[in-house]
Structure 1
Amino acid sequence: MPTRRQFLKSSVFATTSLSLGSHSTLGASLVRLAQSSDTNAQTSVRLSSGWEFLRETLGGTWEVWHSQEVATWKAVEIPHCFNAYDGCDPDTPAYRGHGWYRTHIPVANPYPQGRTLLHFEGAGQTTTVYAGDSVVGQHIGGYDEFVFDITDAVQQLAASPQANAVSQKKQAQPSGIPVAVLCDNSRDLDRMPSDLSDFTLYGGLYRHINLVYVPAISLETVHIKTSLPTPKSSAEIEVEASLYNPTRDPGEVQLEIEIFDPKGTRIHIAKQNLASWTGTKTLTRFTAKTPQLWSPALPDLYTCHIRFKTAHGEYTAQESFGIRHTEWIDHGPFKLNGERLLLRGTHRHEDHAGYAAAMPDDLIEQEMHLIKEMGANFIRLAHYQQSRRVLDLCDRLGILVWEEIPWCRGGIGNEVFQEMGRRTLRNMISQHYNHPSILLWGLGNENDWPTEYPEVNQQKIRAYLTELRDLSHQLDPSRMTTIRRCDFARDIPDVYSPSIWAGWYSGTYPEYQKSLETQRERVKHLFHAEWGADSHAGRHSENPDKVLAEIATGRGTDERGLAYLHTGGEARVSRDGDWSETYACNLFDWHLKVQETLDWFAGSAQWVFKDFTTPLRVDNPVPRINQKGVITRDMQKKESYFVFQSYWSETPMAHIYGHTWPVRWGAPGEQKMVKVYSNCETAELFVNGVSAGVRHRNSQDFPAAGLRWMVPFTGGANKLRVIAKKGATMITDEIGFQYQTQTWSKPAKFVLTEAKRSGDKITVEATLLDAQGALCLDARNRVRFSAAGSGKLIDNLGTPSGSRVVEMANGRACISLQRTGTGQSVIAVESPGIQGALLIVPSI
């Protein structure tokens, strides 16, 4: 396979470009404004269907249209990620290379002499677009939006039958211009983020593509600047805009600007006729005397309508914005609109089971609502610019945002590498400027990572980080900058997050407060991003904290070197703990109770909301999955979700720990702990119908804020029920489980049984028994499932029930089989040193 540089030098890429190049700044404003047009003509078309895909290297665009004999293209819908399943394949690393897409696009621009644009909301990681056999543009970077003007290419193809013949095949072709897209996620040392990043660098057209029509002169960007000197003052609002006028038409522009408050009342109107301009121009400026302020509790949004008219056409564009006042107290808390707001946050990667980065819009919305329902008011978008839908939802739901460029690890690269950082920062700020949810612009992550290419030169990194900070302030003076974990540069950004992993990568979680207080004095504005623990969903423990006795204390709680590995280094919970949900809940519980008491603390963001893929963690219980999420990769809540909800949510809730714990164990009559996570004032527990007493919530009474009971269970079936009260509201929850008093010895054999059947989907469960047939409830053996016959395993989902290689959870593991015919299927489970098992699924 040729290298990327060899490919770039080939005749295919040497073709003269017909476009203006990668005008990424057009992506957020020009296209968004055109899409909000109220004209009768269709000005934007979502290009979702009619695409074909090929994951291999071709010799050039000629082969895109003449490869039917040697390549098998498959129909796909956009968004599409060509690592949708292999990002978590337990046996083979994710594919890094070329992915080709092709389609025919009918073009019907309603504007005389209008411009026709192809808008990519994001594609990975280097994208080259062709119309016919000609390059219309190339974009490097997987996360910012970009636009190519294909007007000239469309005209040339329409005028030249020979040019259009590139797409002719033996069979009939759909109408429209032939468009091919090459997505390349091959390793590239000059591209951000680093190949050493702890997340998969996905490839493909994994966000939406739009065909957009605009008049010959149109709005390119609209930025709405708001100034609120004090929380109680009037607000100054200024609307700035630039034009997209590639032919430099000197014609007149007629403008009508209307501003509506969150209730829909018009509060300002301005009309003017202007000669077309270059650069940025202020269109109107006015004062809102009693502004309605945006906040997580009341995410009020204003709306700006701009009626834009020239001799070439007219349309009305729309942008939303908000007004709020922010203040970071030196060595102290964060204030929003004059009131202290404890930032209660999490993190998000663009990743989902079966889709990878190509998440459908409805799943994105579902995920963001889960974050809000957990009680979060803040999110760090890791580690790159994310979909516009995420930002729109944060605006509407009331979630403050730290959004960052993809300078993740990577040391200090060459000038090509550094220019990419500047460009992605400009694009991110321009494209997301109007979102009131954005609080911080992130400049990088873990830029001190050891052994990075080409070097980790502290002075060079400091100089480059200073440059990025100054550029951010120049582009957007209203927002502060931030980075996480680059201690030798902690003084450069406005807000800094140190590395504190108390109770996971080093130290113990009771050391958390001391670590925070130590870091408080070292930086002007402290925020704690990234803390938590991995947990294997479905794995629970009767004694989760016993590992803490093995961990050295008083030596700090930062992540050191390659502490994420399962070997080497000092004793640490990440290596020596049980990865149970029980331990993770205790760690989260302790951190949250500490954060509630610190009146000087600005806030934190737990790592991470949802499990996601990574090429670096093949030895994890679910291979190649970072399992620090409070929900699984397919959005099933872990027990820890409810720990956060009990501290953060205002909506009354109660959750008995153990909904996914089918068998508890211990001696007959032994006192066992029952925990209830709730934000209610009181809770009463019933064990097998008998009250175990009422507990009163106290956030500082660890664990479970005092809502815990020590009770004996009955051998066999047990039922727990809680009644929690908050004011006049009563909340109930209940669970059932078995209590095993039989002890077990060394695991000896598997039993494989059918657990569930739904249509053609059959779920099987493997249990691990000792020689006497007792269930080994602490078994964590790594098992492998396989299937033969008329069925295939549903795997490579990156979930505990969707991986053919997985560690057991309390002596259990499961997977599903999809029937592919009416014949017999055989499912097997095996693990080194253990007698395997087979399950025959009979013919239909």
Structure 2
Amino acid sequence: MGDAAEPPASDTTWQPVEVPHSWNRIGSYLPGSPAAATLKRPIDQTQGVGWYKLTLPAARLSGAQRLWLEFEAASRTAEVWLNGQRLGSHAGGFSAFRFDATSAYRQGGSNVLLVKVDNRAPETLGVQPTLPLAGDFFVHGGLYRPVKMIVTQAAHFAMLDHGGSGVYAQTRSIDNGKAAISILSRVRNDAGRALRGQVVVRFVDRDGKEVARQASPVQLSARTDGEARIDLTIDQARLWQGTADPYLYTMVAEFRDNKGALLDSVSQPFGIRTMALDPDRGFLLNGKVVALHGVGLHQDSGQDGWALSDSDIEKMVSTIREMGANTIRLTHYQHGPVVHALADKLGLILWDEIPLVTAWTLSPDEKEAPKAVADNARQQLVEMIRQNYNHPSVAVWGIANEVDFGPNRPDFIGKAVSEVPDPRGLLTDLNALAKAEDPIRRTVLANCCENNGMPGVPDVSGITDGLGVNRYMGWYYGKADDFSSVLDGLHQKHAGQPLALTEYGAGGATSQHSDDPQGGPINASGRDQPEEYQAWLHERVWPQVKAKPYLWGSWLWNSFDFATKVRKEGDSIDINTKGLVTYDGAIRKDAWWYYRVNWSAQPAVQIAGKRYVDRAYGVTDVKIYSNAPETELLVNGTSIGTMRGCAFATCVWPGVRLTEGQNRIEARARFANGVQTDGVDWTVGRDAAAAFRIDSGAILAAADPAHRFGSDAFFDGGAPGTADTRKNRYAPFQAAAITGTANRDQAATYRSGDFTYHIPAKPGRYTVILHFVEPSAERGKRVFDVAINGKVALPGFDVAAAAGGTLKAITRSLPATAVKDGLTINFKPTVGDAIVSALEVVPIDTPRP
């Protein structure tokens, strides 16, 4: 590693590595997080120059054979030398590229290969402007996909066709079971004399039977390129039907001379299918509507970064498929051949896209993409299309993601510019290029900001065939229940353009737990991101999304946590926690199980909140995800009841009382083929079993030096708030200077408005301790009554007057008697809003059973 422009000195000590390789490892979970236990490796965030050196195996080329070096990916730029001869360079960290190494290769002797890779940020002085220029993900460095030596004859299928195979097939039509297929083959004659031959293409079914064959003559002068076009039909074609029946033929293309001798061949799986996007009906596969629901995917793991093995990728895809997803959005760049081959085999529908993310200019004075950036975008688009052309799983070509921030771009994903350039010219050019490369597949892009109330947002709709929208209501803005109206509004606005939901979701920290995910505000750019809120948001959003038949696809964000150098959120550092599975792939969060029981027909049952072991309250709702016809809950061996037909496979038993100590929670899901169970042990401490201590307005309870508090719960009405302030939603909170308390964090949060707490206390006598802080109102601006079980116990209370000003903590203690239904504590305003920062309900004698 280093920033040197020249190869390392001969006496440099080289570190042995295996390719695929990346030197980067980024992202960690905080101590105490369940995910931290399995993610143990050194952190390396270096972005710079790295050198790879290899002595190639000695071999001899026969006659006019050619030697090629193929790199499946090198990030983000690469230069290659063989025996001191520079073979070439490549700009773009996600696509394959090849070099002709024939002239530099020493037959039978020692051959030294040197590769220089560079993953420095594009704005670095002297660095080639290579996409992505910005983005909420970390660009790892290295040769993180395989490198190969390939030997061909002098005449061969095109090896320098933007990393493609040289053979490109399209299903033109399917009529009465007969499939019409067109094949374009690009060939090259590197010999010193002319060549006459033919290209033969044949299709072989799964049983090895040849079902179609056609040939086209080829005549090439010395050292020239040529093309062969073939049209053929397959009778009684068995179609590639997505996950229902992902049937694959084998397409074999052969380049032969005029005597029939084989010069070169390409063999690839091929699925026969048609795909279409309809603005009202959604996605059509072979003329039939298929509801697409899936996930976004980044190509990194906590342990290996981008240097994933085939088995790593297979495990990731298996986790996605097990969840029941039938589509993957491969974000935000071209992914490798392994995931594409798996999608072909499993029937997953893919959205492929190039890394045109957020930014397309390098300096504040540029009004449009500079030529170097535009050229690189065009290059990466052509490479993506040609390298993935024959995969039946690929449905659409994505040309951009979130280039419509306008002046609202968050600082953490790239420098904001004072005068925003217009992306529409570049997008129009890329769209036309994609259509020229592949007239059959649809083009798409994903926007972020249209109709989101942001000023200066460029309208990028209408440029591509289909439109995707990334929307985070209930997380960065708005409310979770807004999805339905927002989607309907966009569908109505773009009535002729097929619409998809390309991102939605929330962060989820597996070490953070809330007693009620609606009890307080999450912190989308900070630490408060409990696992329960993530699950709650998905539970609210998915029913709305499912009810929109016009959506041609939906992809939640994200399948796995992933690395990003711009976040310190939840229980992690440099990790985006919106994944439904942790960065190491080891923990499936509650939200994963929610989709598992909704998307997959395979039997499953899972108790939610299993990682919330040490409970703050002795009474809790118990939620079970189950797609069984009936599901039973047992607590400490006693049945709490059986539920049937739970909406969206989510069964909730409210107000389940736990006992002091360990409690065994068990779910029994009865399926037609038997019973499946799930269980967990929850613990309730002595104090928590008898008392209720509530940190009002907090989604995560602040630690208390004397007692165990829970997050806000048992409330009806009101709204959470905090005395702390911040400049914007991405900025850190500035702690308010609250006096008169040993627990500032607890005092800072509050519930305000007209609200009631329904405390499920056992019958008996209690002391109700109310904690107050006036955050900002002057005397007389906030006056309210507090009533217990319908009787006013604290009349005309003015916190500012009682405390002698703002940000001064005070308490009031009130006697109370719980009846069969517990305690009802009502906060009724007369002037302004009522408010409370915390409350405690503490027994003063032994509660009656």
Q: Same fold (TM over 0.5)?
A: yes
Letter in 1 for 2:149: L
Change (3 A) 1:289 1:536: same
Q: Distance in 2 between matches of 1:340 and 1:725?
A: 32
The answer to whether structure 1 residue 724 and structure 2 residue 669 are counterparts is: yes
Shift of 1:191: 2.7
Counterpart for residue 750 of structure 2? none
Q: Distance in 1 between matches of 2:663 and 2:415?
A: 57
Work out whether residues 192 and 406 of structure 1, in 8 Å CA contact, stay in contact via their aligned partners in 2.
no
How big is each residue's C-alpha offset from its partner over 1:131-173, in whole Å with a ceiling of 9 and x where there is no partner?
A: 1222111001100100011101114xx69xxxxxxxxxxxxxx
Q: Distance in 2 between matches of 1:345 and 1:642?
A: 14
Shift of 1:410: 1.4
Q: Which of 140, 157, 178 matches 1:234?
A: 178
Letter in 2 for 1:440: V
Counterpart for residue 522 of structure 1? 493
Counterpart for residue 497 of structure 1? 468
Q: Per the alignment, in what secondary structure is the counterpart of residue 742 of structure 1?
A: helix
How big is each residue's C-alpha offset from its partner over 1:66-90, in whole Å with a ceiling of 9 and x where there is no partner?
A: 133xxx3211111111113479999
Q: Which of 260, 270, 273 matches 1:321?
A: 270
Letter in 2 for 1:536: A
How big is each residue's C-alpha offset from its partner over 1:703-752, in whole Å with a ceiling of 9 and x where there is no partner?
A: x6345443111111111111213334432211122123525999xxxxxx
Work out whether residues 254 and 274 of structure 1, in 8 Å CA contact, stay in contact via their aligned partners in 2.
yes
Counterpart for residue 826 of structure 1? none
Q: Distance in 2 between matches of 1:291 and 1:368?
A: 25
Change (3 A) 1:88 1:411: farther
Letter in 1 for 2:670: K
Change (3 A) 1:696 1:87: closer
Shift of 1:688: 1.1
How big is each residue's C-alpha offset from its partner over 1:676-721, in whole Å with a ceiling of 9 and x where there is no partner?
A: 1122221111111111111113436xxx634544311111111111
Counterpart for residue 80 of structure 1? 21
Q: Distance in 2 between matches of 1:408 and 1:131?
A: 34
Counterpart for residue 378 of structure 2? 422
Any residues of structure 2 matched to 1:425-436 within 5 Å, and which?
425-436=381-392
Shift of 1:453: 7.1
Work out whether residues 109 and 213 of structure 1, in 8 Å CA contact, stay in contact via their aligned partners in 2.
no
Q: Per the alignment, in what secondary structure is the counterpart of residue 391 of structure 1?
A: helix
Work out whether residues 665 and 679 of structure 2, in 8 Å CA contact, stay in contact via their aligned partners in 1.
yes
Q: Distance in 2 between matches of 1:137 and 1:86?
A: 34
The answer to whether structure 1 residue 184 and structure 2 residue 118 are counterparts is: yes
Q: Distance in 2 between matches of 1:724 and 1:109?
A: 65
Counterpart for residue 373 of structure 1? 322
Q: Distance in 2 between matches of 1:244 and 1:547?
A: 66
Work out whether residues 193 and 407 of structure 1, in 8 Å CA contact, stay in contact via their aligned partners in 2.
yes
Change (3 A) 1:457 1:434: farther
Shift of 1:186: 1.5
Counterpart for residue 394 of structure 2? 438
Q: Per the alignment, in what secondary structure is the counterpart of residue 318 of structure 2?
A: helix
Change (3 A) 1:250 1:86: farther
Q: Per the alignment, in what secondary structure is the counterpart of residue 486 of structure 2?
A: helix
Letter in 1 for 2:140: Y
How big is each residue's C-alpha offset from its partner over 1:350-392, in whole Å with a ceiling of 9 and x where there is no partner?
A: 1111211101111111110111110001111110001110100
Work out whether residues 109 and 116 of structure 1, in 8 Å CA contact, stay in contact via their aligned partners in 2.
no
Q: Distance in 2 between matches of 1:434 and 1:401?
A: 13
Work out whether residues 131 and 377 of structure 2, in 8 Å CA contact, stay in contact via their aligned partners in 1.
no
Counterpart for residue 566 of structure 1? none
Q: Distance in 1 between matches of 2:590 and 2:30?
A: 26
Letter in 1 for 2:467: Y
Q: Which of 634, 653, 661 matches 2:584?
A: 634
Rg comparison, structure with higher value: 2
Q: Which of 585, 590, 607 matches 2:535?
A: 585
Q: Distance in 2 between matches of 1:59 and 1:501?
A: 43
Shift of 1:574: 1.6
Q: Distance in 2 between matches of 1:81 and 1:92?
A: 12
Work out whether residues 280 and 549 of structure 2, in 8 Å CA contact, stay in contact via their aligned partners in 1.
no
Q: Distance in 2 between matches of 1:107 and 1:428?
A: 33
Change (3 A) 1:736 1:620: closer
Work out whether residues 411 and 457 of structure 1, in 8 Å CA contact, stay in contact via their aligned partners in 2.
no
Counterpart for residue 548 of structure 2? 598
Counterpart for residue 469 of structure 1? 431
Change (3 A) 1:337 1:731: farther
Q: Distance in 1 between matches of 2:415 and 2:576?
A: 24
Q: Distance in 2 between matches of 1:264 and 1:471?
A: 37
Work out whether residues 237 and 285 of structure 1, in 8 Å CA contact, stay in contact via their aligned partners in 2.
yes
Letter in 1 for 2:304: Y
Shift of 1:597: 2.5
The answer to whether structure 1 residue 546 and structure 2 residue 519 are counterparts is: yes
Letter in 1 for 2:577: Q
Shift of 1:435: 0.4
Q: Per the alignment, in what secondary structure is the counterpart of residue 535 of structure 2?
A: helix
Change (3 A) 1:777 1:213: farther
Q: Which of 475, 478, 484 matches 1:507?
A: 478
Q: Distance in 1 between matches of 2:340 and 2:279?
A: 28
The answer to whether structure 1 residue 678 and structure 2 residue 626 are counterparts is: yes
The answer to whether structure 1 residue 307 and structure 2 residue 254 are counterparts is: yes
Any residues of structure 2 matched to 1:688-699 within 5 Å, and which?
688-699=636-647
Counterpart for residue 45 of structure 2? 94
Work out whether residues 665 and 739 of structure 1, in 8 Å CA contact, stay in contact via their aligned partners in 2.
yes
Any residues of structure 2 matched to 1:640-679 within 5 Å, and which?
640-667=591-618, 670=619, 672-679=620-627
Letter in 2 for 1:721: E
Counterpart for residue 244 of structure 1? 188
Aligned residue pair count: 653
Work out whether residues 544 and 578 of structure 1, in 8 Å CA contact, stay in contact via their aligned partners in 2.
no
How big is each residue's C-alpha offset from its partner over 1:312-366, in whole Å with a ceiling of 9 and x where there is no partner?
A: 9645431111112223222442222232211111011111112111011111111
The answer to whether structure 1 residue 362 and structure 2 residue 311 are counterparts is: yes
Work out whether residues 155 and 264 of structure 2, in 8 Å CA contact, stay in contact via their aligned partners in 1.
no
Q: Distance in 2 between matches of 1:108 and 1:115?
A: 12
Q: Which of 298, 318, 332 matches 1:383?
A: 332
Change (3 A) 1:183 1:106: same
Letter in 1 for 2:150: V
RMSD: 3.0
Change (3 A) 1:103 1:517: same
Work out whether residues 491 and 499 of structure 2, in 8 Å CA contact, stay in contact via their aligned partners in 1.
yes
Work out whether residues 547 and 573 of structure 1, in 8 Å CA contact, stay in contact via their aligned partners in 2.
no
Shift of 1:525: 1.0
Any residues of structure 2 matched to 1:699-714 within 5 Å, and which?
699=647, 705-714=650-659
Counterpart for residue 58 of structure 1? 4
Q: Distance in 2 between matches of 1:626 and 1:75?
A: 31
Q: Which of 238, 259, 262 matches 2:203?
A: 259
Greater mean deviation of Cα atoms: 369-378 or 516-525: 516-525
Counterpart for residue 133 of structure 1? 84
The answer to whether structure 1 residue 396 and structure 2 residue 345 are counterparts is: yes
List gaps (5 residues or longer) in structure 2.
32-41, 159-165, 362-368, 451-458, 694-701, 713-849
Q: Distance in 2 between matches of 1:363 and 1:60?
A: 34
Change (3 A) 1:457 1:59: closer
Letter in 2 for 1:193: L
Shift of 1:603: 2.6
Shift of 1:271: 4.7
How big is each residue's C-alpha offset from its partner over 1:202-224, in whole Å with a ceiling of 9 and x where there is no partner?
A: 11111110111111111120111
Letter in 2 for 1:78: V
Amino-acid identity (%): 27
Letter in 1 for 2:326: N
How big is each residue's C-alpha offset from its partner over 1:460-512, in whole Å with a ceiling of 9 and x where there is no partner?
A: 41111111111111111111111111641111111112232111000111112
Letter in 2 for 1:534: G
Work out whether residues 92 and 130 of structure 2, in 8 Å CA contact, stay in contact via their aligned partners in 1.
yes
Q: Per the alignment, in what secondary structure is the counterpart of residue 436 of structure 2?
A: helix
Q: Which of 432, 438, 441 matches 1:479?
A: 441
Work out whether residues 354 and 380 of structure 2, in 8 Å CA contact, stay in contact via their aligned partners in 1.
yes
Q: Distance in 2 between matches of 1:418 and 1:428?
A: 15
Change (3 A) 1:86 1:425: same
